[in-house]
Amino acid sequence: MQKKAKWPIQKKRESIAMSKKIIRRAHVSTSHLPDELPEAIKQIYVSRGMQSAQDLELNVARLQGMTADTSLMGIDKACKLLHDALINKMAIVIVGDFDADGATSTALMMSALELFGSNHHDFIVPNRFEYGYGLTPEIVDLAAQKQAQMLITVDNGISCIAGVKRAKELGMQVIVTDHHLPGQNLPDADAIVNPNQHGCNFPSKALAGVGVAFYLMLALRKYCREQDYFTEKALVEPNIAQLLDLVALGTVADVVSLDANNRILVAQGLKRIRAGQTRPGIQALIEIANRNQQRLVASDFGFALGPRINAAGRLDDMAYGINCLLAADISSARVMAAELDDLNKARREIEQGMQQEAERVLTSLNFDESNLPSAISLFQQDWHQGVIGIVAGRLKEKFHRPCIVFAKAKEEDTDIEVAEIKGSARSIPGLHIRDLLEHIDSQNPGLIGKFGGHAMAAGLSIKQKDFSLFQQRFNETAEKWLKPEDLDSIILSDGELSSDMITLEFAEQLRESGPWGQNFPEPLFDDSFTLVQQRIVGEKHLKIVLEKETAQGSIVFDGIAFNVDVSVWPNNNAKQVHIAYRLDVNEFRGKRTVQLMIEDIQAVN
């Protein structure tokens, strides 16, 4: 970082922590929502954009009615190409991505093509350490070794101009399915299906890659029905809804916005999984993560199942994750899920070490909360490329700054003049990270090799020798684009929850009122309590007992805060605390109790 501290830190600190400001959402009229709902839940819904009772309906009929697949640009052409490929028994190779969205997209396409009668399809997922992201010319050459006649990209392809060109040179047809933002130029594919391509009128721009693949398969079934394909092939028309378990998992794991369309997709996938209508691979992942399948919630995809799939792509080969999702029986799925669990444990160890090193770097530069730069970018020679995105996300959450963490692209590259480093970026509300990278690229030609992504997350590559210059440009540009208030770490609260509502029954009702996720956040409340007990568990988690006085007497609640600053907590001087918390259900040895999941805790006495 080029920006210097305004003054030296007077006291040596083990870490820097951003204080958070709690702002309560305004109470508004809820008369347009059903009377039978508790007022607290109606307020939560309205604050998240629910305009009518219809917005609360999460059924398949509404999904089909509000987002017709025919409005996806390029989908008709893609269906015709796929239909012809099925008729002619063409060799199809699916090219995926090495994250959970890419894995579920690949598994969905593999499963769906089998339902359509294909037995001439296979998949390739680039190993991030050898080939990097997307449909590169090298990946096309690998597909050619499989005698591929058609390539279908899932969760990638919109920026893979060179890869598509290579495929066309080899005589392959190419269908691109993606959801990432396009650049100025598009690849010369035979068909492109992406709700974010210019001119596409599909209303749900927030579809994950697996959602795009799902809609293509829905449209293909309709097209094949119209062509009498199923009758001629003596095939049972496939039930595409059986793929919704994959759609739900990939959508939540990719942290895309849970707009109305995505909420329906996730809700329907959850419904099927809870009812036992899911594939062995997902069942095995639920088991190894020690989750209750009948009570699974959307956050379990993001915090339990998704990371285990992602671990394969981060540390080894995403084919492990895809093969787990494609497992034909529960026995083989359990073996693969156990391997993924081991990889995830190793990933956590690497990530924690890197995060601690990154925080030590910031501390050594004499930054504190008052003079952190507007943007953080860090690189270290021995950091692991597979977990830089997670570390960037952790730093972003802790310091509330856009953050990019870099690692060497190839360990054997020791010549700084030619060595390339890859960065993973995470942003905060108010800064569109891909647009910022595009601006830096336009103002500094040649500084960035490749880049792509979304508003909140992106990836890029630069030369190692250019890191200091990029650091400077990144911070300078972010400082210009961000307003001072954007750098405030704010917690939006749904207000104070009366003590008689901090119950197991209401916690259950909140769980069932989801799915909750990105841009449709799980309810968060804040209040002051008397601190009765406090202790550290699991090295840095704060387990506490809280007390609240009511007209009927005092009530005691259990709470837990994860990853606290152990130099601050436990705090024996704290008698009263103000907390921001989520109402959760704790399951232990068959007993279910209400628990406060603490987002923020501050002593107030």
Q: Choose one of 487, 510, 531: the last residue of a domain.
A: 487
**Residue 305 falls inside a structural domain:** yes
**The 191-193 sheet, strands edge to edge:** 121-124, 92-95, 150-154, 173-177, 191-193
State how beta strands 121-124 and 92-95 pair: parallel
Asked if 442 and 560 sit in the same domain, the reply is: no
Lookup: tokens for 324: 């787990």
Write the CATH number for 39: 2.40.50.460
pLDDT at 17: 60
Which CATH number does the domain housing residue 379 bear?
Answer: 3.10.310.30
The answer to whether residues 276 and 411 belong to one domain is no
Residue 573 falls inside a structural domain: yes
- 400 and 548 both lie in a single domain: no
Report the pLDDT value the prediction gives residue 6, as an integer from 0 to 100.
31
As to burial, measured by CB atoms within 10 angstroms (0-12 exposed, 13-18 middle, 19+ buried), residue 147 is: exposed
Please give the Cα distance from 68 to 71 (Å, whole number).
6
Q: Is residue 256 part of a domain?
A: yes
CA 323 to mean position of chain CA atoms = 21
Pairing of strands 457-463, 525-537: unpaired
* pLDDT value at residue 136: 93
The domain boundary residue, chosen from 457, 487, 517: 487
Same domain, 371 and 291: no
| pLDDT of res. 432 | 94
- Give me the pLDDT at residue 66, please: 58
Evaluate whether 218 touches 71 at the Cβ level (below 8 Å): no
Supply the pLDDT for residue 587: 84
Residue 338 located in a structural domain: yes
Q: Which domain holds residue 448?
A: 365-487
Q: Is 257 in a helix, a strand, or coil?
A: coil
Single out the residue in 426, 457, 487 at which a domain terminates.
487
pLDDT score recorded for residue 369: 63
> Are 423 and 338 in a shared domain?
no
What is the Cα–Cα distance from 151 to 173, expressed in whole angstroms?
A: 6
What pLDDT is attached to residue 287?
98
Residue ranges of the chain whose pLDDT lies below 50: 1-14
Question: What is the per-residue DSSP string for 61-113?
Answer: HHHHHHS-GGGSTTHHHHHHHHHHHHHTT--EEEE--SSHHHHHHHHHHHHHH
Q: Are residues 428 and 536 in the same domain?
A: no
Strand-pair partners of 177: 154, 193
Q: Specify whether 468 is located in the same domain as 326.
A: no
State the CB neighbour count (10 A cutoff) for residue 6.
Answer: 10
Q: Does residue 17 belong to any structural domain of this protein?
A: no
> Do the beta carbons of residue 159 and residue 186 sit within 8 Å?
no
Looking at the structure of the chain, the number of domains it has is 3
